[in-house]
Amino acid sequence: MNIYSHLPSAPEALRLSKSLLRSFLGPRSTPAENQPTPIEFDVHINSDTGFFPPQPLARLTGPFEIWESALDEAKENLVLGDNDWDASKTQAGVEWRARVASVSTPPLSTSQSILTCHQWSVINTDGLQNLRQQQRAHMVLAWILSYYVHSMPPSTTSDDIIIPRSIAVPLVTVSNALRIAPILTFADTVLWNWELIDRTLPVTIDNMLFHTFSGTDDERNFYVTSARAELGGVEMLRIFNDYQNLPNVNDLTSISKTARDLNKLAGVIDQLTEVIKGVRAVVDPHVFYWEVRPWFEGSQSRGPDEPKWIYEDCAASDTVDLSGPSAGQSSVMHALDIFLDIDHKLKERRAPAPSSENKRSDTGFMERMRRYMPGKHRDYLTHLAASSRPIRALAIQSPAIREPYDAAVTALKKLRDQHIRIACLYIVSMSRTTPPAGCGCPVSAMMEKLEQERAADKAAAKGPSRGTGGNELALLLKAGRDATRRAMIKDN
Ligand code: HEM
């Protein structure tokens, strides 16, 4: 290793020395001793998997095997409830749901009672022996829940949707143990939803196989893209960790390292932007919008007039968090926001002042999304947020860090600009199209075109597009981008 390449040049050393003098007035550093290590938060930075478990979660056995087989069967046979062109699939859904719910409702007929040969019951989750088994149980039950709700034919009434106790009770119990929302989350679709293609090879993106609801490559590639961003983020976690563990933040060596690491961070964020951009090549927007995204909807994702999900035998279904999964629940992205001190809640006085649209947006969204993360990951974020050496404050005091800090913020702002474009293409534009047609004949094509025009009118009348969390999409994402820009020191 050439150590000279890591030393500052003469003018840079002069600048750093001046900065050092000024830094004595800056934030006080605290010794790094007795700091919890990332691994205590289930964040495996050293083994390169970050918020992913270091190995895939093993299939559950014993009494829990019934959940695993129900999920296998659902993946094989179930389709979205509005897919009415394949009667055999519709029937498979009816039978599967009856079996899962058999513990709630007595069988109606002899033919249905035959279906209960695998006896469903409310399985006690005390038998799950460790964190990994609890995570697996959450993932399997959350997928079963999504299959249960979204394979139902579209409701013609506003009646609540009852989630049978066979799913609801163990899901809520295991969610309480993990301190995560009792619904499909980013962890269930990305962090815990994979196995190794070749078990003799390490955990890398090319060696991970993701499972899907729709059976499409588009859905698989959507998870791969999110996973790629998540694994790319491990390098950021290392940077945050190194900074937290510096014995002192004010000496010349530390300032020089921090400046270098912030520049490196800007480079990593640029790579994540490329990853997000890359989704266009591998995920078809129409397939995503019509065949993948409906599986992600949570309770009342389409608005407050939609039927609510009620968890049988679980107290206070009304107050639990039941939004759908989103990369907004990725702990890596939250860690980045915390490290750079992005003020999504508009609590700080920063320039340029928030627009009236910014103020109208859902400023509590990012904080709410943390409740959809595993509790241990949230603890890591809390730990990071409690740092006694906030980097933005240090950058304000230390000219040598200011520019690299602003470079990292600029990179994150550009990432959010790019993400807005993607979200608009995949959701806002696609909401004006019609679902894929069952037949390719010219009459059908003409009917489809007419239908599309009608749908566009309807979409315009329906108001703004919503995220899976039910929020107003464009307003939310732009507010996040503007909050990022507001962190720039040179404008303040
Ligand atoms: C087809 C690709 C994607 C689409 C359509 C999409 C769409 C969305 C939507 C609609 C939201 C609003 C929150 C909600 O769900 O209610 C959101 C939030 C978010 N997404 Fe994506 N997303 C995509 C890919 C990604 C990827 C690959 C990342 C990885 C970095 C990402 C990171 C985020 C973050 C961090 C948020 C929270 C809001 C913010 O930080 O600006 N998204 N996304």
Regarding the beta carbon of 328 and ligand 1, being less than 6 Å apart is answered yes
In a domain, 30, yes or no: no
Picking from 328, 286, 296, the residue whose alpha carbon sits closest to that of residue 419 is 328
In a domain, 33, yes or no: no
3-state secondary structure of 387: coil
Look at the chain and report how many structural domains it folds into.
1
Instruction: Render pLDDT for 70-128 as a digit per residue (tens, 0 to 9).
Output: 999 999 999 999 887 788 888 999 999 999 998 865 544 434 333 334 568 899 999 99
The protein residue whose alpha carbon is closest to atom 3 in ligand 1 is: 423
Instruction: Render pLDDT for 343-391 as a digit per residue (tens, 0 to 9).
Output: 999 999 999 999 999 999 999 999 999 999 999 999 999 999 999 999 9
Regarding the beta carbon of 484 and ligand 1, being less than 6 Å apart is answered no
**Beta-carbon contacts of residue 386 (< 8 Å; ≥ 6 apart):** none
The protein residue whose alpha carbon is closest to atom 36 in ligand 1 is: 328
Atom of ligand 1 at shortest range from CA of 481: 41
Q: What is the dihedral of CA 86, 88, 91, 96, to 10 degrees?
A: -110
Regarding the beta carbon of 296 and ligand 1, being less than 6 Å apart is answered no
The yes-or-no verdict on residue 6 having pLDDT over 80 is no
The yes-or-no verdict on residue 31 having pLDDT over 60 is no
Regarding the beta carbon of 423 and ligand 1, being less than 6 Å apart is answered yes
pLDDT value at residue 23: 44
Regarding the beta carbon of 424 and ligand 1, being less than 6 Å apart is answered no
Which 3-state string (H, E, C) describes 400-434? HHHHHHHHHHHHHHHHHHHHHHHHHHHHHHHHHCC
Q: Exposed, middle or buried: residue 154 (CB in 10 Å: 0-12, 13-18, 19+)?
A: exposed
pLDDT value at residue 119: 65
Residue 307 pLDDT level (bands cut at 50, 70, 90): confident
Which CATH number do you get for residue 352?
1.20.58.480
In a domain, 193, yes or no: yes
Angle between helices 87-100 and 131-150 in degrees, nearest 10: 130
pLDDT value at residue 231: 96
In a domain, 17, yes or no: no
Instruction: Render pLDDT for 145-196 as a digit per residue (tens, 0 to 9).
Output: 999 999 999 887 888 999 999 999 999 999 999 999 999 999 999 999 999 9
For the chain, counts of helices (H) and of strands (E): 20, 4
More confidently predicted of 10 and 479: 479
CA of 194 to the centre of ligand 1 (A): 20
In a domain, 4, yes or no: no
Regarding the beta carbon of 74 and ligand 1, being less than 6 Å apart is answered no
Q: Which domain holds residue 448?
A: 56-103+118-454+464-487
pLDDT value at residue 209: 98
The yes-or-no verdict on residue 13 having pLDDT over 70 is no
Picking from 220, 168, 219, 211, the residue whose alpha carbon sits closest to that of residue 192 is 211
Give me the helices (H) in 153-202, please: 165-178, 186
Regarding the beta carbon of 329 and ligand 1, being less than 6 Å apart is answered no
Atom of ligand 1 at shortest range from CA of 334: 35
pLDDT value at residue 317: 63
Picking from 236, 244, 241, the residue whose alpha carbon sits closest to that of residue 262 is 236
Backbone angles phi, psi at 208, to 5 degrees: -110, 130
Dist. CA 178–CA 375, nearest whole Å: 6
Picking from 412, 408, 328, the residue whose alpha carbon sits closest to that of residue 362 is 328
Query: Average pLDDT over the chain, rounded to whole?
Result: 87
The protein residue whose alpha carbon is closest to atom 21 in ligand 1 is: 327
The protein residue whose alpha carbon is closest to atom 14 in ligand 1 is: 467
The yes-or-no verdict on residue 53 having pLDDT over 60 is yes
Dist. CA 49–CA 61, nearest whole Å: 26
CA of 126 to the centre of ligand 1 (A): 35
Dist. CA 372–CA 296, nearest whole Å: 14
Regarding the beta carbon of 325 and ligand 1, being less than 6 Å apart is answered no
Regarding the beta carbon of 189 and ligand 1, being less than 6 Å apart is answered no
Beta-strand relationship, 309-311 and 161-163: parallel
Both tokens of residue 352?
Answer: 């340029």
Regarding the beta carbon of 333 and ligand 1, being less than 6 Å apart is answered yes
Q: Report which DSSP code applies to 263.
A: H
Instruction: Give 264-268 contacts, CB < 8 A, sequence gap 24+.
Output: 264/235, 264/239, 265/236, 265/239, 265/408, 265/411, 266/404, 266/407, 266/408, 266/410, 266/411, 267/411, 268/232, 268/233, 268/235, 268/236, 268/239
ipTM: 0.94
Q: What mean pLDDT do residues 14-20 have?
A: 48
Dist. CA 419–CA 277, nearest whole Å: 8
On whether the CB atoms of residues 435 and 290 are closer than 8 A, the answer is yes
The residue to which tokens 């899976």 are assigned: 468
Residue 471 pLDDT level (bands cut at 50, 70, 90): low
- Mutating to test ligand 1, I would choose from 334, 370, 419 the residue with most ligand atoms within 8 A of its C-beta, which is 419
How much of the chain exceeds pLDDT 90, in percent? 72
CA of 122 to the centre of ligand 1 (A): 35
Please state the pTM of the whole predicted model. 0.88
More confidently predicted of 461 and 199: 199
Backbone angles phi, psi at 283, to 5 degrees: -125, 120
Residue 439 pLDDT level (bands cut at 50, 70, 90): very low
Quick one: how far is CA 197 from the chain centroid?
23
How much of the chain exceeds pLDDT 70, in percent? 82
In a domain, 303, yes or no: yes
On whether the CB atoms of residues 207 and 49 are closer than 8 A, the answer is no
In a domain, 110, yes or no: no
Dist. CA 51–CA 53, nearest whole Å: 6
In a domain, 34, yes or no: no
The protein residue whose alpha carbon is closest to atom 8 in ligand 1 is: 423
Atom of ligand 1 at shortest range from CA of 426: 5
Residue 316 pLDDT level (bands cut at 50, 70, 90): low
Q: What mean pLDDT do residues 137-151 have?
A: 97
Ligand-binding annotation for 6, yes or no, is no
